Amino acid sequence: MEARPYKEDCLALILSGGGARAAYQVGVMAGIAELTPQATPNLFPIICGTSAGAINALALATHAGNLHSAVDSMLEVWSGFRSHHVMRTDWPGLMAQAWRWSRTNLLGGSGGRTTALLDNRPLRDLLEKRMRFGCIEEALQAGQLRAISVSAFDYKASQSVYFYQGRDRITPWQRHRRIGVQTRLGLDHLMASTAIPLLFPPVLLNRSWFGDGAVRQQSPLSPALHLGANKVLVIGVTHHGSQLPAGGQPGPVLNTPAPPSLAQLGGHMLHSVFIDNLETDLEQLERMNRLAAYQPFAMRSGVKGVRHVDVLVISPSEPVDLIAARHRAALPAGLRLFLRGSGATRTSGSDLLSYLLFEAEYCNELIALGRRDALARADDLRRFLDIPAPA
């Protein structure tokens, strides 16, 4: 976990990707806001977001003057979400996009025009209307923020790119298949970070096509460390409970199981994109922290030493896919029929559905879960975020 040296404690917030699952992050932030006074400014000098987490990250950064205002803005959007705010869900739109995709990828007849299974222009319109990108620079200059990072995947160079905007000049970094690029963040960076492969179209930036920032993201924690963090709060989007029977061993297979549906395969692929690398990186950081404890004290904050990084992880206490399965009927009729063939509307396909179910019923249950999980860890959060205990 190599990173730039620091002179003071610096806290970072990591918001991972996960499509509609990112509503859980809003709930956690709502719980954190409840632990703070009404006029509390942004608590996180460094904010790093990936995919849908990048939307939440920029929402926090653009309201850095007041944490409660930021959370209220996020709640306003996520609690009223509908799929048509993110993608075309009407029959003409779905059929037109399906035809463009088939013509390009099966018939080769579009002249190189980029297409995807779903049309996410409604999301661009929503973000263009809601995001006040100019407020990021104001927050940086006011000292309410040190840096904000958004990740995207460069298809041409086959590497993760961390676009970041900082208060001062921050030296860019380059590692194996990942680089940091200082720039002024805008709508195209956000759309690139949320462009889930195959589902949403890639975005052209600086003569390269970019897609979802979680793709091949080898070290999701690295941008926060390169930007100077030595404390990291990670808000995950997956449940970590065991799925084994009570005895700890898999139960007997009585019948030959059905082969996995396209939705099941898609769900596992999205898990590998959005979740697996973050969990692996957290394990690596834990090992490096143990190593840091054995090195001479004088080396612990130096450039050549391995420094300890405090980490707190908040993640769903309930399986998100089961929550999605309860709300699959909330999908618009056209989109439900469009996804039926893949198995996404069946219980077995709820993993994939949990990433695509941008509907208020599902999002509000995730928000409520995130708030409960945050308040259940209230003492840990107060200590970690240095929030005074109530009188």
Residue 362 lies in a domain: yes
Task: Tell me which of 119, 154, 212, 281 is the catalytic residue.
Answer: 212
Residue 376 lies in a domain: yes
pLDDT the model gives residue 264: 55
Q: Indicate if 51 belongs to the active site.
A: yes
Domain that holds residue 381: 11-240+266-296+306-385
Domains in the chain, number: 1
Give per-residue pLDDT as tens, 129-154.
Answer: 999 999 999 999 999 999 999 999 99
Residue 146 lies in a domain: yes
Task: Tell me which of 16, 51, 73, 160 is the catalytic residue.
Answer: 51
231 vs 271, higher pLDDT: 231
pLDDT the model gives residue 245: 47
Q: Indicate if 212 belongs to the active site.
A: yes
Residue 159: other Cβ atoms inside 10 A: 16
100 vs 190, higher pLDDT: 190
pLDDT the model gives residue 25: 96
Mean pLDDT of 332-344: 64
Mean pLDDT of 248-257: 57
Residue 172 lies in a domain: yes
Question: Percent of the chain having pLDDT more than 90?
Answer: 50
pLDDT the model gives residue 238: 81
Residue 260 lies in a domain: no
Residue 301 lies in a domain: no
Question: Percent of the chain having pLDDT more than 70?
Answer: 75
Give per-residue pLDDT as tens, 353-384.
Answer: 888 889 999 999 999 999 999 999 999 999 99
Give per-residue pLDDT as tens, 72-98.
Answer: 999 999 999 998 999 888 777 777 777
